[in-house]
Structure 1
Amino acid sequence: MPTITFTQPDGRADVVTAVEGTSLMRAAVTNGVDGIVGECGGQAMCATCHVYVRPEFAAALPEIGDDEEEMLDCTSAERTARSRLGCQVAVGAGLDGVVVDVPEGQV
Structure 2
Amino acid sequence: MGVIHVTDRAGQRHTLEAIEGWRVMEIIRDWGLPIEGLCGGACECATCHVFVSEEWLDKLYPPTEEEEDQLDTVMTRPNSRLSCQILWTPELDGLEVTLAPTGA
Give the TM-score band, short-chain normalised: over 0.9
Alpha-carbon distance between aligned partners in 2 of 1:30 and 1:105, rounded to the nearest angstrom? 19
Give the 5 Å matches for 1:64-83: 64-75=63-74, 78-83=75-80
Q: CA deviation at 1:2?
A: 2.1
- The alignment's C-alpha RMSD in Å is 1.5
Query: Can you give the 5+ residue segments of structure 2 that lack an aligned partner in the other structure?
Result: none
The 2-side partners of 1:73 and 1:14 are apart by 28
Q: Give the Å deviation of 1:61.
A: 0.4
Q: How many residues align?
A: 104
**TM-fit CA distance, 1:9:** 3.2
Alignment match, 1:8: 8
- Listed one character per residue, the Cα deviations across residues 36-57 of structure 1 (whole Å, up to 9, x for unaligned) are 1111010000001000000010
Q: Is the 8 A contact 1:14 1:33 kept in 2?
A: no
Aligned counterparts of 2:68 and 2:101: Cα–Cα separation in 1: 20
**Correspondence 1:43 to 2:31:** no
Equivalent residue runs for 1:15-94 within 5 Å: 15-34=15-34, 36-75=35-74, 78-94=75-91
Q: Scaled by the length of structure 1, what TM-score is found?
A: 0.90
- Return the alpha-carbon distance in structure 2 between the equivalents of residues 9 and 33 of structure 1: 10
Secondary structure, counterpart of 2:58 in structure 1: helix
Task: State the distance in 2 between where 1:103 and 1:15 align.
Answer: 17
Is the partner of 1:105 in helix, strand or coil? Answer: coil
Identity percentage of aligned residues: 35
Query: How far is the alpha carbon of 1:13 from its aligned partner?
Result: 1.2
| Amino acid across the alignment from 2:44 | M
1:30 shift after superposition: 0.9
Mean Cα deviation higher: 81-90 or 3-12: 3-12
> Which residues of structure 1 form unaligned runs of 5+?
none
